[in-house]
Amino acid sequence: MNTYGDKFRLTTYGESHGLAVGAVIDGCPAGVSIDMEAIDAALKRRRGGAPRQEEDRIEWLSGLSDGITLGTPIAFSIHNRDTRPEDYAHLEHLFRPGHADYTYYMKYGVRDHNGGGRASARETVARVVAGAIAMQLMPEVSVRSEALCGRSKVADDTVGGMVRCSVTGVAAGVGEPLFGKLNAALASAMMSIPSAIGFEMGSGFAAARMKGSEYIDRWNSDGTTKTNHCGGVQGGITNGMPIEFTVAFHPVVSLPQPVECLHENGSLETVSIGGRHDTHHIERATAVVEAMTALCLINYML
């Protein structure tokens, strides 16, 4: 499933080491002037200090005329410029620990050893472009996130961490009950990001340890509340307070040290994985968290 959303529908395409990555956005309203610099800024933040430093040049294939949306599908492609599949040649028959090599193989019956294909974080570039467009359709909304490294960095190892996100400017009454709850949709959107391993609204796991009288957010007379333990959503619908949630990311699984891989023949083999990988990804993850937040919200607000 390469499509996200039902009103503002993002369909992404492209293999990490193929010709291009990109997407088609269906459902973007007409007449919106797109701020290209905002898109570039989001892309730059996503690149972070990543070893594979491609400048992402977007080719707009349809849906825009003079930078203004036509209401028709917006298609774009970003050519991959720095692919090195040879970095992965030695992994042809190995399954790396912590990666999706093995699970993809068990599902599809074919190996994709050369750099991750669609499972690679490269795919998130299309999400960031689409998220930056979605953001511009909601000028009253502000999405801000900060990155919390899970621990101090150490040589020859990797780290994970958490991203805390706060959304202001969303009126009360946005969301759906039952299976369409906004918090459920946010959870799904965040858990679809590579390396995401946990999600909580507001006080989250800490709330599970509170007494009810500590937890419930007490009213102010204007309908705001004195605390925001619930994270701004009740019964799946916003209450007008900031939407607050936290996403946990496990550490980067491509370690800068030799690891034991599983060979297709069942033997274990210690190799250096190589390729160009971050030892930390939390700062870069904020760009993707914000993009997915915008993509999630716009589907409720259109």
* SS3 of residue 283 by DSSP: helix
The pair of three-digit structure tokens given for residue 242, joined into one six-digit string: 């900031």
CA atoms within 13 A on the CB side of 258: 5
Inter-residue contact 49 to 86 (CB < 8 Å): no
Q: Of 276, 256, 261, 258, whose CA–CA distance to 93 is shortest? A: 261
Cβ of residue 195: shortest distance to a second copy, in angstroms? 10
Nearer to a second copy, 75 or 289 (CB): 75
Q: C-alpha distances in angstroms, 183 versus 64, 84, 201, 250?
A: 32, 39, 7, 21
Inter-residue contact 48 to 34 (CB < 8 Å): no
Nearer to a second copy, 2 or 53 (CB): 2
The DSSP symbol for 239 reads -
| d(C-alpha 122, C-alpha 117), whole Å | 9
Inter-residue contact 259 to 277 (CB < 8 Å): no
Cβ of residue 136: shortest distance to a second copy, in angstroms? 19
Nearer to a second copy, 44 or 284 (CB): 284
Cβ of residue 179: shortest distance to a second copy, in angstroms? 5
Q: Of 289, 280, 284, 278, whose CA–CA distance to 44 is shortest? A: 284
Cβ of residue 188: shortest distance to a second copy, in angstroms? 4
Cβ of residue 6: shortest distance to a second copy, in angstroms? 8
Inter-residue contact 94 to 263 (CB < 8 Å): yes
Cβ of residue 152: shortest distance to a second copy, in angstroms? 10
Nearer to a second copy, 41 or 176 (CB): 176
| d(C-alpha 27, C-alpha 22), whole Å | 17
Nearer to a second copy, 90 or 164 (CB): 164
Only one residue has tokens 């009288």, namely 213
Nearer to a second copy, 44 or 289 (CB): 289
The DSSP symbol for 12 reads E
Nearer to a second copy, 43 or 201 (CB): 201
The one-letter code for the residue type at 73 is: P
Cβ of residue 143: shortest distance to a second copy, in angstroms? 19
Cβ of residue 30: shortest distance to a second copy, in angstroms? 6
Q: What are phi and psi of 207, to 5 degrees?
A: -65, -30
Nearer to a second copy, 44 or 224 (CB): 224
